[in-house]
Structure 1
Amino acid sequence: MLQLPPLSLYIHIPWCIEKCPYCDFNSHKLRGEIPETEYLTALIDDLKQDLSFVQGRELFSIFIGGGTPSLISASGIKWLLESIQQLIPFKADMEITLEANPGAIENQKIADFKTAGINRFSFGVQSFQQEKLTKLGRIHGVEEAKTAAIQAHNVGMKTFNLDLMHGLPEQSLEDAMSDLQTAIDLKPTHLSWYQLTIEPNTQYFSHPPKLPDDEVLWSIQEKGLALLAAHGYEQYEISGYSQIGWQCQHNLNYWRFGDYLGIGCGAHGKISFPLENKILRTTKIKHPKGYLDPTRSYMDECNTVDKDELIFEYMMNRLRLMEDIPFSEFENYTGLKKQSLDKLLQQAVTKELMIVGQDVCRVTPLGHRYLNELLTIFME
């Protein structure tokens, strides 16, 4: 029978100072001042309308993403977190992450955000080379990125993430390794290190830059993994690397098919209902103008996940992780029997993409390399 998994909360702040040419996230170039009070009030109203989804649970984690959430004042974030806690109890020592652009957060603001209740930052660095930052449309400089990490240490932030891309326009192996080594030297507990991809509806899609060839990309990946491992960073998901014990708890709940509320422009949610044996996917109004229109509902879409899609939905998330997949978790969080996986797993085993034990299954290194091919098996 379907069981209630842990419940997280995602909060979307949609504004950026500039729209990066590679970005396909729901973000909007800021024109004038952020309607901070109006938007924060709307977020709490939005959450109130989703309270029936909580079903007696406490919050497992909070992630404030965007956009550029660090454009919001620290006092605004403090009010937001306090208002949320009045509605839903927080798990003890809960992880509360704020995404921050080094070009939109001053040293004092880092300390103020910590005082407001943020206990984990995710700094969008992308590169430590000015030429690459300029091509990526980033508003911060190299020193600002380094200073943000140093200041996080100085204010006593126990954990923070540096977000770093590779496979950048005209990037060499040496460039990529220099970026990665600089990030490691700043001693973050967590690194998100992933390859730039060209997505539809972006400036890069309309005017593609010259990217490294496949041989260079493979060398970057191979040498980068070795460098991270040599410095104690364990790969626990496709693009997530952490020191032991510092995995992003919010992401783990996502990938383990946990539940999450999504509030804010275009935010997505996933909610389980054991008594009705169903799972809902929710999406909020995408554009700030529509989201802040008092005549409209915050909810844009609310759909039940079809039973035929549940295996793929689960595996699409779970296969990202490098850990064992317990069959008991699959049964508890989907409401399906393990036997519904048997033929599909056998196909994956035959192709050497997965291994299967009595109580767990696991993706092989080959399976992670050809993850898209593995996923197609579970689309059947």
Structure 2
Amino acid sequence: MRPLPELALYVHVPWCVRKCPYCDFNSHGIGSGSGADLPESAYLAALLMDLDEELTRSDGRLIHSVFIGGGTPSLMSADFYARLLDTLERRGVLAPDAEITLEANPGTVEQGRFTAYRRAGINRLSLGVQSFQAAQLAALGRIHDGDEARRAVDSARQAGFDNFNIDLMHGLPGQDAELALADIDTALSLAPTHLSWYQLTIEPNTEFHSRPPPLPEDETLWAIQDAGHARLEAAGLGRYEISAYARPGHASRHNLTYWRFGDYLGIGAGAHGKLTRREPDGTWHVERRWKTRQPEAYLRRADDPRGFEAGREPVALETLPLEFAMNALRLVDGVPLSLWEAHTGRPLDELTPHLAAARARGLLVEDAGRLQASPQGLLFLNDLLALIDDA
């Protein structure tokens, strides 16, 4: 019988101090830096109810990673997370070696909480730095400066976090290759175990979409990507996914669950989840589910017999191959081809001629046992996916 994928948990905290103009996540500005007026107790109670509903669909699997994202999750107290993680442990669903990541804002409000977060059971931080340059931070609408970002890393390390990520963006308004590399060099001087380095994209339903800022030309973007990649690799941060670099043994377990087409529960306002469901007759299907987006509406659902779910949708069998490939081919090392049939239910023979065409164009590595993009394929991933989609 086909084994079910590894299971992860995503927890969404929808509030932030101020909505950034590039952000298309489900986040809601509170207009102050303290978070003191947030409905912390009510939101925790709703999350725990949401969690219990989700666990009925987990087929008894342990949760191997937890990622707490937002918004700005570090607006919540350490006690909030201690109670959440204690509930997971008491339910007996948290793997003993689970990776538990909290997204944190580098602003000074949250830094004093790092020690308490570590004691609560969080063992990995993801710091939303984005840039160390004043002009670029201002253009992005960030509320911290470069010095606060550096102090945040120092505070995290002093609090006992020996595993942390720095989020860094490139292709920013007014940024050239020299400024982008200066950001990388500053990040490297702080010795992170993981660095997410991705290009700013203009997303619908954002302020940048309605009022686009001037962005670097394509030639500059290519120069930034080439030089930045070389700089990170030379510093010992290996690229394991299109936008993710890590020191040996520190690739994000939660991210790998996504890219390997694993399963994840989603709790919190607007959270999404993906589950592989096994029926009593041995058949299976993949389903995506999502929760009520607006925080106030989500809290009201605690007293609603409908629960927190806003919608669900089965992934059509004919779209599974492309969905699987869109995730797996982001990984620099790809995945074993044996996972193709396991995750899509389609015979590998259907894919074989399309793999040959992709290899002929230099988009896949010459390895009959792996689905793995070549360096050229990573650069032209859409072309590679178009070939796979024809299968």
Q: Under a length normalisation based on structure 2, what TM-score does the superposition of the two structures give? A: 0.94
Q: Give % identity.
A: 48
Is 1:367 matched with 2:377?
yes
Task: Quote the offset at 1:88 in angstroms.
Answer: 4.2
Uncovered stretches (5+) of structure 2, i.e. residues with no partner: none
Uncovered stretches (5+) of structure 1, i.e. residues with no partner: none
- Counterparts of 1:35 and 1:142 in 2: how far apart (Å)? 31
Partner residue in 2 for 1:286:
293
Indicate which of 166, 171, 174 corresponds to 2:170.
166
Partner residue in 1 for 2:317:
307
Higher relative contact order (CA 8 A, sep 6+): 1
Which residue identity lines up with residue 307 of structure 2 in the other structure? S
Task: Quote the offset at 1:103 in angstroms.
Answer: 1.4
- Show the 5 A alignment for 1:95-106: 95-103=99-107, 105-106=109-110
Which residue identity lines up with residue 66 of structure 2 in the other structure? I
Indicate which of 192, 195, 201 corresponds to 1:188.
192
Is 1:214 matched with 2:218?
yes
Between 189-198 and 1-10, the greater mean CA deviation after superposition: 1-10
Change (3 A) 1:4 1:339: same
| CA deviation vs aligned residue, 1:68-115 (integer Å, no higher than 9, x gap) | 000010011111111122224222221100000111643330111000
Between 260-269 and 289-298, the greater mean CA deviation after superposition: 289-298
- Counterparts of 2:292 and 2:345 in 1: how far apart (Å)? 30
Indicate which of 335, 339, 342 corresponds to 2:349.
339
Q: Is the 8 A contact 2:11 2:267 kept in 1?
A: yes
Between 229-238 and 329-338, the greater mean CA deviation after superposition: 329-338
Partner residue in 2 for 1:22:
22
Between 124-133 and 84-93, the greater mean CA deviation after superposition: 84-93
- Counterparts of 2:345 and 2:329 in 1: how far apart (Å)? 18
- Counterparts of 2:355 and 2:92 in 1: how far apart (Å)? 39
Number of residues of Structure 1 aligned to a counterpart in Structure 2? 380
> What's the secondary structure of 1:222's corresponding residue?
helix
Task: Quote the offset at 1:309 in angstroms.
Answer: 0.6
Q: Is the 8 A contact 1:2 1:277 kept in 2?
A: no
Q: Is the 8 A contact 1:60 1:90 kept in 2?
A: yes
| CA deviation vs aligned residue, 1:279-327 (integer Å, no higher than 9, x gap) | 1111111111221112253111112111101101101110110014212
Q: Is the 8 A contact 1:3 1:335 kept in 2?
A: no
- Counterparts of 2:151 and 2:294 in 1: how far apart (Å)? 33
| CA deviation vs aligned residue, 1:238-266 (integer Å, no higher than 9, x gap) | 10001111101100111001110011111
- Show the 5 A alignment for 1:118-267: 118-267=122-271
- Counterparts of 2:6 and 2:241 in 1: how far apart (Å)? 19
> What's the secondary structure of 2:286's corresponding residue?
strand
> What's the secondary structure of 1:21's corresponding residue?
coil
Q: Is the 8 A contact 2:28 2:71 kept in 1?
A: yes
Q: Is the 8 A contact 1:176 1:220 kept in 2?
A: yes
- Counterparts of 1:99 and 1:358 in 2: how far apart (Å)? 39
- Taking only aligned residues, the RMSD between alpha carbons, in angstroms, comes to 1.5
Task: Quote the offset at 1:334 in angstroms.
Answer: 2.9
Q: Under a length normalisation based on structure 1, what TM-score does the superposition of the two structures give? A: 0.96
Task: Quote the offset at 1:228 in angstroms.
Answer: 0.5
Change (3 A) 1:340 1:277: farther
| CA deviation vs aligned residue, 1:150-170 (integer Å, no higher than 9, x gap) | 111212212000000011001
